[in-house]
Structure 1
Amino acid sequence: MRRLAALLCLLPVAAAVAGGAAWVTLPGGKFRSALKYEDVQTVKVAPFALQKRPVTNAEFLAFVQAHPQWRRDRVARVLAEPRYLSHWAGPVTLGRAAQPQQPVVHVSWFAAQAYCEAQHARLPTWSEWEYAAAADETRRDARNDRAWRERILAWYAKPSNTVLPRAGLQAPNAYGVQDLHGLVWEWTEDFSALLVDPESRNQGDPDNSKFCGAGALSMDDRDNYAVLMRVAMLSSLQARDTTANLGFRCARDIRK
């Protein structure tokens, strides 16, 4: 009986690993960002593919099993802090606190990027993520809708210690992407470029200037508080950091 129960527990993991996350193609185009890059607020987003939902525990477990250097007991500490995958029962065991279909969290930027590279992909840029996240269920840009903005803000008001629902339960937006709001925060490829402390440029650390001078929040979008919160949160992190509500999804370039 115990053996049967164990086999049943493995079935969702196997299904998730075999199927993986679906991909959605976004057309791209000119987009008014909430960030200004050297006083330019309109950015051009090239067509790209984005995973329909965030990466799950089951999918990341398959990656860790295939790339054991990313196990929590083997990963280099310069690539992930001690909280990395701390909610898993063991280095290659999910357990009750990490259900297979829940989005994976407690994962560093380095680990997220490595996962995407293993899928022949990458993390989305901020502009790509913001472009996709501007859509609601019927409109490609719903940001001027006060009711839609308040619905997103309601999620930010919820306690962060609640149990994460499974990924993929939300209705797809106009592009077919799910869970961009209301589930987890998400890493972006250029997260450290969102807000840069001018003082950090004078400390002689080459890493501090790697993404320097990127952006500042535009006062034209001061009503978009959800974007402000997300930018502030991401820009406060280092690439080895992890949190209990930060996950990711992958993106791919569209080859012409």
Structure 2
Amino acid sequence: MRRAVVLAGLLWIAAPPGATAEFVEIPAGSLRSVLAYEDVPGEVRLEAFALMERPVTNAEFAAFVRDNPQWRRDRVPTAMAEGRYLSHWDGALEPGAGDAPLRPVVQVSWFAADAYCRAQEARLPTWNEWEYVAAADETRRDARHDPLWRERILAWYSRPSNRPLVRAGLQGANAYGVRDIHGLVWEWTDDFSALLMDADDRLQGDPDATRFCGAGALSMRDRENYATLMRVAMLSSLQASHTTGNLGFRCARSLP
């Protein structure tokens, strides 16, 4: 753990100007995927990468918008972000008063999240990278088979989505040193749109929620891990221009 903390500090020092969140090095390893598709092996091998310790905040995203005014809510094309984009901010460049700047940014589209990460010389994490880190609790790198841990995550998912958000980074770190992976906001992944695929591409984006949720259940190796199924269902229901009041993001970096 001490080595991870030291490396996190080194990665923060090496970050480009404007990147204020620390990155934690995630060691290489394998993840038994719960998705059961022909092109998804049972064990997914992951190379070492770095992940933001916490989600991107309103203040950090506001700094990005100031430097990249094409991402202001009053200028961004509707094809890149729907009308709710940053609608909770007090103004086009003002996240709000009090601790609002320190809360995770939400109402942000995949396109905007991707652009932010690219501006930090980073990228959005892949689904497998995110799930690899999300499988850990405070002491174990893979706690997915612990029913109490599962229930704790599902308890958060069952809360009303319109509850006020708290500051990012307040929760204790998991075994990798990453905070807020559960219990604060849902998060975009780079390949979110590839989680549920249909043999006929013309059926992508089918609004029949019952159909797509059923397909997700049939494509799960571990159907008891309902929290993962909920994440697949939630992300697969979105388009890249969509925004919600409880969906944020964090960035990742590939390592040499």
Range of TM-score over shorter length: 0.7 to 0.9
Distance 2:98 2:239 in 1: 25
The residue type paired with residue 227 of structure 1 is T
Q: Are 1:157 and 2:152 counterparts? A: no
Distance 1:222 1:103 in 2: 30
Shift of 1:176: 0.2
Which residue does 1:83 correspond to in 2? Answer: 84
Report if the CA contact (8 A) 2:188-2:247 is conserved.
yes
The residue type paired with residue 154 of structure 2 is L
Report if the CA contact (8 A) 2:197-2:204 is conserved.
no
Which residue does 2:30 correspond to in 1? Answer: 30
The residue type paired with residue 20 of structure 1 is T
Distance 2:204 2:252 in 1: 33
Structure 2: 5+ residue stretches without partners? 1-16, 206-214
Percent identical across equivalent pairs?
Answer: 64
Report if the CA contact (8 A) 1:37-1:216 is conserved.
no
Q: Are 1:21 and 2:15 counterparts? A: no
Which residue does 1:135 correspond to in 2? Answer: 136
Structure 1: 5+ residue stretches without partners? 1-16, 206-214
Regions of 4+ moved over 6 Å: none
Tell me, what secondary structure is at the counterpart of 1:25? strand
Report if the CA contact (8 A) 2:216-2:229 is conserved.
no
Shift of 1:198: 3.5
Shift of 1:219: 4.0
The residue type paired with residue 92 of structure 1 is L
Report if the CA contact (8 A) 1:88-1:97 is conserved.
no
Shift of 1:76: 1.1
The residue type paired with residue 90 of structure 1 is G
Distance 1:96 1:163 in 2: 14
Q: Are 1:49 and 2:76 counterparts? A: no
Which residue does 1:230 correspond to in 2? Answer: 231
Task: Return the TM-score normalized by structure 2.
Answer: 0.85
Q: 1:204 to 1:229 in 2, by over 3 A?
A: closer
Which residue does 2:178 correspond to in 1? Answer: 177
Shift of 1:36: 2.5
Task: Return the TM-score normalized by structure 1.
Answer: 0.85
Q: What is the RMSD computed on CA atoms of the aligned residues?
A: 2.1
1:220-251, Cα deviation, whole Å (9 max, x unpaired): 31111111111100000000000000000000
Report if the CA contact (8 A) 1:88-1:98 is conserved.
no
Tell me, what secondary structure is at the counterpart of 2:61? helix
Distance 1:204 1:220 in 2: 22
Which residue does 1:6 correspond to in 2? Answer: none
Report if the CA contact (8 A) 1:87-1:97 is conserved.
no
Shift of 1:24: 0.3
The residue type paired with residue 235 of structure 2 is L
Q: 1:223 to 1:97 in 2, by over 3 A?
A: farther
Distance 2:95 2:59 in 1: 8
